[in-house]
Amino acid sequence: MNGAESLVRTLVAGGVDVCFANPGTSEMHFVAALDRVEGMRCVLALFEGVVSGAADGYARMADKPAATLLHLGPGLGNALANLHNARKAAVPIVNIVGEHATYHIANDPPLGADIEGIARPVSAWVRTSRDAKSVAADGAAAIAAARKSPGQVATLILPADTAWNEGSGIAALPPIAAPAKIDDAAVHAAATALRAGGKDAMLMLTGIALREHGLMLAGKIAAATGCRILAQWSNVRMQRGAGRVPIFRLPYPIDAALNTLKDVKHLVLCGARAPIAFFAYPDKPSILTPEGCDIVTLARLEQDLIDALERLVDALGARNAQARVQQLDIPAAPSGAITLDKIAAALGAHLPEGAVVIDESVTSGRGFAPLTAGCRPHDWITNMGGSIGFSMPVAVGAAIAAPERKVVCLSGDGSALYTPQALWTMARENLDVTVVIFANRSYAILKGELAQVGAGNPGRKAMDMLTLDRPDPDWRHIAKGLGVEATRATDMDQFSAQFAAAMTTRGPRLIELLM
């Protein structure tokens, strides 16, 4: 059994049974091993940003890592933006990068590059396999590194001769530690802050705390103490809708974020980071909490957030408190001219139970939360690294991980144009993904940002850098060219009808909503 096959078998034995791939020559033995090893599903993407985003989306739904397979330094480079997003989200990924044969590296061939150097800024763990006998053990170590709580990008670099020489067979997975429990002092400090704060206190959550059970615990705490609960602006996956404790996200625009937090005197963090500005703006603060706000960390993201909430519930005597639970409240399907609220209502009206929403509607989607809060229970995934071109690749991975659920990908047109190749993988794998493109033909977010940073009124040349018209991208054709059926909606009646149809039909499709 060669090194490549040893690695593939080790991955499968270690629970990593999906590989998103864009391979090249140096990865051919890995690819060839796929035919000899049962249990590894390998999904081809036409561009590595789709590979890394899909691995992110997969892990968010499966709660375990997928593998990637990337070709040398440039392939890793193409994957970098979505690996950045995964790193910021603390999502587990076993990131496998081919390398030239060990003895060929010194020749500095055309594709030679400092792969470890490229990997380090996006990886918590980086290792280059030394020889074929080490590959399986390195693979097992990569799985363990990826699964270290809360999750990490682990990059394993595989010189070609470590793949083709005789390997060691399957390596056993090292023990993977459960998330650490918080200490009693943290529980006590959080309980004290929330009791003291009452309605001026806030419990801010992210990570696993935003799943149904964590939210129920947070709801009890809110009921018992009067505190507000809030999610980070972006989160790995948040469970919402009828039957769950409702929670909103900190807004993105800095003034709205400051306003949301302005009365908070005690902030208790459960996995969340103390809120900071996405960007710095001249004359605006970088720290979003008001001066003098008492910030208490109940639990860090890598700790056991559910245990922390359970113990906080008990410390507050809130076990029997009645959390506010969202009632089913489905908006009427809207008609007429397009508005952002009506889009939210259309989503809320038609999202099926168990839908997974990947939200990269950078500007258009900022107001979606209220009108979708009462719809059928669903999951909401957002980008924690801010690098666009995120949602369609993540939708690919989410759909592979959760084939029985409808995946809805909401994307601005500017964002979607970074990684349109994801559509092809949706078509090839017949994934149950509906992509909604908000086609405003501009980097709309930048028009606001230009003002926020005080760069003045843009002239023609500056505006040219913010607009995507001339020519208008036509998503009906882009999608068709990549194998996905697409329609265009120019009013709410069309959008509602097309979206409703998509929600009740399996398979990939795209709706371009002209804004």
* 47 or 58: CB nearest a copy of itself: 47
CA-nearest of 84, 120, 123, 124 to 386 is 84
- Choosing from 60, 64, 100, 376, the residue that interacts with a copy of itself (CB under 8 A) is 100
Q: Which of 70, 81, 261, 346 binds a copy of itself (CB under 8 A)?
A: 81
Among 255, 263, 329, 464, binds a copy of itself (CB under 8 A): 464
Is residue 42 at the binding interface for a copy of itself, with CB under 8 A as the rule?
yes
Q: Which one, 433 or 450, has the nearer CB to a copy of itself?
A: 450
State yes or no: residue 361 binds a copy of itself (CB under 8 A): no
Residue 403, token pair as written in the block: 């084939």
Give least dist CB 150 to a copy of itself, A: 16
Pick the stretch among 197-205, 292-300, 370-378, 444-452 that binds a copy of itself (CB under 8 A).
444-452
> Is the separation of the CB atoms in 26 and 71 below 8 Å?
yes
Using the rule CB under 8 A, is 455 a contact of a copy of itself?
yes
**Considering beta carbons, is residue 320 or 461 the nearer one to a copy of itself?**
461
Q: Applying CB under 8 A, which part among 80-88, 171-179, 263-271, 432-440 lies near a copy of itself? A: 80-88
- Residue whose pair of structure tokens reads 């999202």 in the numeric block: 351
Nearer to a copy of itself, 256 or 279 (CB): 279
Asked whether position 161 contacts a copy of itself by CB under 8 A, the answer is: yes
With respect to a copy of itself, which residue has the nearer C-beta, 188 or 476?
A: 476
Based on the shown chain and the rule CB under 8 A, indicate whether residue 279 belongs to the binding site for a copy of itself: yes
Binding status of residue 291 toward a copy of itself by CB under 8 A: no
Reference 410, options 439, 375, 384; nearest CA is 439
Amino acid (1-letter code) at residue 424: W
Using the 8-state DSSP alphabet, how is residue 505 labeled? S
Q: Is residue 411 part of the contact set for a copy of itself (CB under 8 A)?
A: no
Query: Taking a C-beta distance cutoff of 8 angstroms, is the pair 194, 296 a contact?
Result: no
Smallest gap from residue 255 Cβ to a copy of itself (A): 15
Q: Which of 175, 282, 292, 336 touches a copy of itself by CB under 8 A?
A: 282
- Contacts (Cβ under 8 Å, ≥6 apart) of 157: 97, 98, 99, 115, 116, 119, 126, 127, 128, 129
Backbone dihedral region for residue 483 (phi beyond 0: left; psi -120 to 50: alpha; all else: beta): left
CB of 53 closer than 8 Å to CB of 394: yes
Shorter beta-carbon distance to a copy of itself: residue 25 or 259: 25
Shortest distance, CB of residue 353 to a copy of itself, whole angstroms?
A: 30
d(CA 505, CA 118): 42
Instruction: Show Cβ contacts of residue 280 under 8 Å, excluding neighbours closer than 6 positions.
Output: 286
> Rounded CA gap, 53 and 56, in Å?
5
Closer CB to a copy of itself, 199 or 506, in the complex: 506
Q: Are 396 and 425 in contact (CB under 8 A)?
A: yes
From the list 393, 326, 378, 325, the residue with the least C-alpha distance to 347 is 378
Helix axis angle, 492-503 relative to 340-350, nearest 10°?
A: 30
Q: Which amino acid is at 317?
A: G
**135-146 vs 3-13: helix crossing angle, rounded to 10:** 30
| Interface region with a copy of itself, contact rule CB under 8 A, candidates 141-149, 186-194, 468-476, 498-506 | 468-476
Q: Does 495 bind a copy of itself (CB under 8 A)?
A: no
**The only residue of 330, 417, 497, 500 in contact with a copy of itself, by rule CB under 8 A:** 417
Residues in 103-132 at the binding interface with a copy of itself, rule: CB under 8 A: 103-104, 107-111, 113-114, 117-118, 120-122
Nearer to a copy of itself, 224 or 384 (CB): 384
Binds a copy of itself (CB under 8 A): choice among 173, 295, 330, 453: 453
> Which two tokens mark 473?
């991208």
Q: Which residue carries 């035919």 as its tokens? A: 35
Within 10 angstroms of residue 481's Cβ, the number of other Cβ atoms is 12
Tell me the C-alpha distance between 320 and 313, whole Å. 9
| Contact pick of 15, 327, 481, 506 for a copy of itself (by CB under 8 A) | 481
Residue 399 binding a copy of itself, by CB under 8 A: no
